[in-house]
Structure 1
Amino acid sequence: MRIIAKIVRHLRSKLLHLLSEDELKKVVRIGKQARVTESLSIRGGEYISIGDQFYGGPGCRIEAWDSFKDFQYTPQISIGDRVKINSRCHIGAINSIVIGDDVLIGSNVLITDHSHGDNSQNELSIPPTDRKLYSKGPVVIGKRCWICENVVILPGVHIGDGSVVAASAVVTKDVPANVVVGGNPAHVIKRIVAL
């Protein structure tokens, strides 16, 4: 019985890997040695570029929306070399999201450059799912950043090279290079200095 269970697990793993590889084929540019695990989902692959040695964990969604309802957008998602994205992350763009080289992203992270509507008084009577998608600006994550578990990075944010975003932080404004930020909203906890 254990042998059969082991064979079933192995076959399931191979099938899920193949499905994930099919998802990668949707991407306009995929670097060498990119690796994904089960249930990676890609939307708008023609607007997504992924660098060398990328890793995407289970349950990740990478979405470049060029249309929603009757509105058109020009999304761009660029993921650098050696970026590691852990499980159940959601990256969604209607504008632009750039992730630099050597970035580590923990599980359950949301990175978005848009929201459902602009939260104006005029939209209060419209259900969020029926509102036009709205972007306050692109998201840029610099090189060698570490985005910890359960982080939310909101539209219009630039995170400087070498910074760490602590677990469960909500990033609503720019983060300088070489700092640790945390909290809701995220604020600088300490500066990282070279030894």
Structure 2
Amino acid sequence: MCGGLGSRLDGDVEKPLVEVDSVPMVDRVVAALAGSPVDDVYAVTSPNAPATAAHVDVPVIETAGEGYVADLQAALADSRIEGPVLTVAADLPLLTPESVTAVLDRWDAGSLTVAVPVAFKRDLGASVDSSFTHEGREVAPSGLNVVGGEPGRVLVREDDRLAVNVNRPADLTLARRLA
């Protein structure tokens, strides 16, 4: 998922193209997926990210840019897509093939929401934009999920590679320090 404008980053480049360790975040995510058991990789873009659509070296699914959920639904309706589907936000620049594989190894059927404990994110210095309670713990969505129908489960991981979503300048500084 790489259709974000990145307005909270106060930069002059589309969010997926913001560099961490001299590599655009979207390229770092695509490389992590390419080194994992994932079969096919698509970049889901929007009118907010035309330079990203032109930049990526994978097939592109263009959506209307109406928000994450609407764009995800549009992507899943594309005739090239067959479920189950691993979805990844382009703002996870620390993602590695090993972290993707570890999640896939825990998936067995249905949908899987991968979350990170809020306390873990805060200890790292990462921002928390949304959270929910799972088994008595406050957790935050990681940006990595499996969409595969019902039933849905939650997998909680204390993994800095999943904890750092670059949404604000401080997150970008943290990602660059940890990269």
- Superposed pair shares fold, TM > 0.5: no
* Rg comparison, structure with higher value: 1
Q: TM-score range by the shorter chain?
A: under 0.3
State the structure with bigger RCO (CA 8 A, min sep 6), 1 or 2.
2
Please identify which structure carries the higher helix content: 2
- Greater share of strand residues, 1 or 2? 1
Under a length normalisation based on structure 2, what TM-score does the superposition of the two structures give? Answer: 0.27
Normalised by the length of structure 1, the TM-score is 0.26
